[in-house]
Amino acid sequence: MKARWASTYALRILWRLGGVGSFTDWAAFKKDFQAEFFSIDPAKSAALALHNREQYGQGKQTLDEYIDSFQALVEQAAYPDGLQLCLTFRDGLHPTLMERIDNLAEGRPDDEQIASWYKVARDQWQLMEIWQELHRAHPAPRSTSMVTLQHLALPHSESAPALATPAL
């Protein structure tokens, strides 16, 4: 529930409708409340949420949190398995994870099976976590004359500059 909507609703009841006494009974209040805050078509709302890139995606969630929320919306929207569902999941992934999966030479997920995407994403996420733990425990030496493992593990990310290709 959005705080702004709730306060607007409360003010409307208190000032414009004559307070809580303006409802004849609990059922009347419940009906008005549900009309104000709940979607008329939950399946349509879930489908729209899945495709809204500005409001939905992995963001700062862990991968498991993202998969759980994605699965809940897919179930609510009654989406069938297939290419569109896999692309929707892919597009919501953290950019570094998405790039890692896109760049896999072997072991790429099946674009028709969402379970395949979940498995590959989890595998790659675990590899990223392991790499980060190793890097924290044993930081790579800083040197201008050699490429560090940090640059190889997160290509083209904001935290690591892109590798230059040697001129021939």
| Percentage, residues of the chain above pLDDT 90 | 39
Q: Quick one: angle between helices 63-77 and 42-50, nearest 10?
A: 140
Summarize the chain as % helix, strand, coil (round to 5): 60, 0, 40
Whether residue 106 is predicted with pLDDT greater than 70 in this model: the reply is yes
List the structure tokens of 61: 């969630």
Q: Which contacts (CB < 8 Å, 24+ apart) does range 132-138 have?
A: none
| Residue, of 166 and 7, whose pLDDT is higher | 7
CA–CA separation, 119 and 67 (whole Å): 10
Q: Which of 20-34, 127-141, 144-158 is predicted with the least confidence, judged by mean pLDDT?
A: 144-158
